[in-house]
Structure 1
Amino acid sequence: MAARSQESVELQGAGAAVAPASSQETDNAAHAAGQDARQIETSGKRAATLIGQAVLQLPIWGFAMTYGVFQDYYTAHWTLSGSVSGTGVIGTTQNGVMYMSMPFLFALFSRRWARYRRTASLVGVVLTCASFLLSSYSTNVWHLILTQGVLAALGCALIYSPTTLTLGEWFSTNNRALAYGIILSSKNIVGSTCPFLIRHLLDVYGFRLTLRIWTAIVAGSALGAIYLIPSHPSSTSAQTYHARKLPWSHLHHRTFWIYAIATMLQSSGYGIPQTYINTYASNITHLPQTSSTLLLTFFNLPGIISSSFFGYLNNGKRFSLSASTVATISGVSSALSAFLLWGFASQHNTAMALLTLFSITFGFFAGGYSATWGGMINELEHEAAERNEAVDPGLLYGLLNGARGIGYVSGGLAGVPLLKAGAASSGMDGFAYGTAYGPLIVFTGLCSIFGGWSVVWKMGKLFH
């Protein structure tokens, strides 16, 4: 009996020892399941953010990237008061105002007003739609400049800035450049498809009804995409509500200014072909409207690949280049395409081939330049960490957009006198350099080269 009692006690003790272990395994399994569920939820929200941002590229950039079609239409069907040459600044002004307002908007909605991001985006939709609707009733060229170039640009910037900040929060440093590259590719999909849509609407309905149809497209696509993008937890935390100071220490470091100036110079030349390639094809080479519209599609189409490609070069796991190196590849290659392809495209029998090749190569290399910003921001974050300084990636992205805006406006303002100077001069017969667009071509190429000058500074720093 004593032996059986002792055996029973041992078995009970063993059972008691097993019970806590089994409970711990259950807790671990529950914890792992909870982590998996959170990862799935996070992945779903990241996917929704990417999809929403991709759709938003249509209402934000659809008009700005295809303005060359409107410019060509205004030139051929001018019915308003004022000089038709004034319409040449609308596209670059819209891009410039959008980009220049972004540093202020990114700073506002990065922390202090983070909880108002969706509200601001909805206000932007209302302002954008109202601007395009008002522009359909324009009777003078300054009406178009004000409504399309300024007011619509501010509305689009209000949509873009808060939603892009949310994108940067959902994607960390390791995959931020690739995420930006994907969104920029979506932007170029818009720029590749919209020219034919706009051209068809203009030919069938005229510019007034086309602008009203575009207003409806903007409203429908923007509202659906904004409500698809989920808010990041960090933008709704109490700490974010009470944050009042943004870190500005990067303004004291040379690296930021090198990249900002390079971005400004590259953008000065980038907007020129977008605005004038259609009118050049129609007025100088006498290509039909379908061909000139196709050139704008060829200009934007390669950016679908190049934006993701340049983003990968900055963030590739197996192969990665510095932001300055990738920017130089973009700048020098696009400059060569402007000098060697657009510069020699004036004969009708070879014009379409050369202009097509120019649009593809320039669109690929210049269109992917913005994808280097993710790598630039990563480098600035790394330098700030070495100095034990705070840095805000969203603010940096906004400031780079601001530099791009200054470049767009500068290029647009320079384009009108350069075109007049080219018309008053004579050059090499048979080449584009000898036409009124010659100075614009040289300006585009030089600005593109200087857009990659950061690598020269980097090499000098390395040798030093």
Structure 2
Amino acid sequence: MPQNESVTLHELQSSSPDIREQDPDGPDPAQDVSYESSTDRNYTSQNNSHRTRLGHIAASDLGACFAMSYGVFQEYYYENWTLDGSRAQTGIIGTTQNGVMYLSMPFLFALFTKRWARWRQTAALCGTVLACLSFILSSFSTNVWHLIVTQGVMAALGCALIYSPMTLSLGEWFQARASNQGAVNRAVAYGVVLSSKNIVGSTCPFLFRGLLDHYEFRATMRIWTALLGGICLLGIALIPTHPTSMPNASRTHRTPKIPWHFLRHKTFYIYSTAIIFQSAGYGIPQTYINQYGKEITMLSQTWATLLLTLFNVPGIIASSFFGYLSDNKLFPLSAATVASIPPISSACSAFLLWGLTSQGSGGLALLILFSITFGFFSSGYSATWGGFLNELEREAAQANEAIDAGMMYGLLNGARGIGYVSGGFASVPLLKAGSGFSGKFAYGTTFGPLIIFTGLTSVLGGCVLIRKWEKQLLRIFSFA
């Protein structure tokens, strides 16, 4: 299709209702999937948007909180080891779950954005069944690889099947309109959902700790399965039926193809690379902060669990804050500027707070401060992706190209999955490398290489600033 016939989301939504009468063959397949019939527009009501947001929060966020609270299980496995295999391998379970979940998202977003959009609720139900089955099977584990397969891979795929359709539905009810207010509404919607994930992640560590103390691991997994299944089913029921499943929906428009023009823009690759680096270090403290607190700073079980809660609580505010910062009109900042703040600040927190924590109870204050600051900035990073999408949409509009924001969001999540998996597999040899370390501060402990790795990957996550510097240099040379 010629580029001058491509349209963006904003142009489609502001076009005449009679556009289909002018084109008897329907919308061009290369156009954005966001083309809406009159039935779809009537369906996109305020009530449905609230229902979608509540359903998303209830379903997908609960499914993701196991990985956010995995540090509790990591510490439990080390102290109550009853399985065959290497105990050190349990460190990759939490990051593997995050990695597999995010790596599968580009494929799931591609499926449910277009041709299989009407099967979103069915997919979420299948994901709930798969996640519940994985946790039930993990309760019968006798070897560490059983946990890796069930909790690290199967549970991740189940959660991804819940999260992807829910997120696509949420984005559709809060899609950016031509007005600035619409863009703010979308950012706020994603900020609320990301914040709710941290609310759940802040309470679940104590829930899991209480269950493990009273019922031990196998019973805890079965109780968690019942909670997960019940709440996810309730959340999925709150999601309204997708417009393509309505009567006569198939006759109003045909399924368009995914536009891949954005893959020609280097902006996409700069942002994806930054996400990979930031995500590689993000999962390390979540996995090991409990174990570090008990082994190095000699904290009680309650205090060690509290560290993980303090890691997640600041994200409640951070997600909404950075989402607003990406779209604010009072003092507009570039997407690169906003996206560089969380990783660089996280790196400073890792190097100056966690790394300089002294061994013994005297390091408690710095460790608490590290959990709060690193949790705030690292949790807010994904909320800056709205700025990435806005910039990529502007580039597409300037080139008169079609663009699918949902597909782009899925690919960015795929980049995050690469980072999670890389960080998880790197953590095991890094722990072994630190076994011979000795020193006064945290750098001189077994966790020293992990701390350095966390800080360095966070710094590299700020490489998104290259995009801003490049634009500034181009402006300077254009005036010269």
TM-score (norm 2): 0.86
Q: How does 1:189-268 map to 2 (within 5 A)?
A: 189-233=199-243, 237-238=249-250, 242-243=254-255, 245-268=257-280
Contact kept, 8 Å, 1:112 with 1:242, in 2: the verdict is no
Contact kept, 8 Å, 2:336 with 2:467, in 1: the verdict is no
Counterpart of 2:444 in structure 1 is 434
Counterpart of 1:3 in structure 2 is none
Contact kept, 8 Å, 2:337 with 2:468, in 1: the verdict is no
Counterpart of 2:22 in structure 1 is none
Counterpart of 1:294 in structure 2 is 306
1:270 and 2:282 matched: yes
Cα distance in 2, alignment partners of residues 57 and 171 from structure 1: 17
Quick one: structure 1 residues 41 and 440, their matched pair in 2 at CA, closer, same or farther if it must change by over 3 Å? closer
User: Which structure shows the higher helix fraction?
Assistant: 1
Deviation at 1:433, TM superposition (A): 0.4
Deviation at 1:241, TM superposition (A): 7.4
Deviation at 1:40, TM superposition (A): 11
Deviation at 1:39, TM superposition (A): 8.5
Deviation at 1:41, TM superposition (A): 7.5
Contact kept, 8 Å, 2:307 with 2:371, in 1: the verdict is yes
Contact kept, 8 Å, 1:111 with 1:241, in 2: the verdict is no
Contact kept, 8 Å, 1:177 with 1:375, in 2: the verdict is no
1:284 pairs, out of 293, 296, 301, with 296
Q: How does 1:307-456 map to 2 (within 5 A)?
A: 307-426=319-438, 429-456=439-466
1:139 pairs, out of 132, 137, 142, with 142
Cα distance in 2, alignment partners of residues 389 and 60 from structure 1: 36
Counterpart of 2:78 in structure 1 is 75
Cα distance in 2, alignment partners of residues 261 and 316 from structure 1: 25
SS of 1:112's equivalent in the other structure is coil
Deviation at 1:316, TM superposition (A): 2.1
Deviation at 1:382, TM superposition (A): 1.1
Deviation at 1:47, TM superposition (A): 1.1
Contact kept, 8 Å, 1:82 with 1:141, in 2: the verdict is yes
Provide, for residues 425-451 of structure 1, a one-character-per-residue CA deviation record: whole Å limited to 9, x for no partner: 44xx21000111111111101111111
2:124 pairs, out of 108, 121, 125, with 121
Deviation at 1:207, TM superposition (A): 0.5
Cα distance in 2, alignment partners of residues 238 and 321 from structure 1: 42
Residue 227 of structure 1 aligns to which amino acid in structure 2? A
Counterpart of 2:163 in structure 1 is 160
Deviation at 1:52, TM superposition (A): 1.3
Quick one: structure 1 residues 235 and 393, their matched pair in 2 at CA, closer, same or farther if it must change by over 3 Å? farther
Contact kept, 8 Å, 1:170 with 1:232, in 2: the verdict is no
Deviation at 1:83, TM superposition (A): 1.0
Residue 209 of structure 1 aligns to which amino acid in structure 2? A
Deviation at 1:176, TM superposition (A): 1.9
Counterpart of 2:109 in structure 1 is 106
Cα distance in 1, alignment partners of residues 61 and 45 from structure 2: 26
Cα distance in 2, alignment partners of residues 231 and 225 from structure 1: 13
What percent of counterpart residues are identical?
64
SS of 1:192's equivalent in the other structure is helix
Cα distance in 2, alignment partners of residues 58 and 232 from structure 1: 20
Cα distance in 2, alignment partners of residues 106 and 67 from structure 1: 26
Counterpart of 2:152 in structure 1 is 149
SS of 1:388's equivalent in the other structure is coil
Moved more, 81-90 or 318-327: 318-327
Counterpart of 1:29 in structure 2 is none
Cα distance in 1, alignment partners of residues 136 and 253 from structure 2: 36
Counterpart of 1:66 in structure 2 is 69
Across the aligned residues of Structure 1 and Structure 2, the Cα RMSD in angstroms comes to 1.7
Q: Which has the larger radius of gyration?
A: 1
Residue 406 of structure 2 aligns to which amino acid in structure 1? G
Deviation at 1:327, TM superposition (A): 1.1
Cα distance in 1, alignment partners of residues 137 and 354 from structure 2: 36
Contact kept, 8 Å, 2:347 with 2:456, in 1: the verdict is yes
Cα distance in 2, alignment partners of residues 104 and 239 from structure 1: 26
SS of 2:45's equivalent in the other structure is helix
Residue 205 of structure 1 aligns to which amino acid in structure 2? Y
Quick one: structure 1 residues 240 and 278, their matched pair in 2 at CA, closer, same or farther if it must change by over 3 Å? farther
SS of 2:56's equivalent in the other structure is helix
**Displacement over 6 Å in runs of 4+:** 38-41
Cα distance in 2, alignment partners of residues 263 and 234 from structure 1: 33
Contact kept, 8 Å, 2:44 with 2:173, in 1: the verdict is no
Provide, for residues 241-300 of structure 1, a one-character-per-residue CA deviation record: whole Å limited to 9, x for no partner: 742521111111100000000001000000000001111111111111111100000000
TM-score (norm 1): 0.89
Deviation at 1:347, TM superposition (A): 2.8
Contact kept, 8 Å, 1:271 with 1:412, in 2: the verdict is yes
Provide, for residues 77-117 of structure 1, a one-character-per-residue CA deviation record: whole Å limited to 9, x for no partner: 00111111111100000000000000000001001100110
Deviation at 1:233, TM superposition (A): 2.9
Q: Which runs of 5+ in 2 are unaligned?
A: 1-37, 177-182, 475-480
Cα distance in 2, alignment partners of residues 320 and 217 from structure 1: 43
Counterpart of 2:194 in structure 1 is 184
Contact kept, 8 Å, 2:117 with 2:242, in 1: the verdict is no
Deviation at 1:420, TM superposition (A): 0.6
Contact kept, 8 Å, 1:169 with 1:232, in 2: the verdict is no
SS of 1:137's equivalent in the other structure is coil
Contact kept, 8 Å, 2:60 with 2:166, in 1: the verdict is no
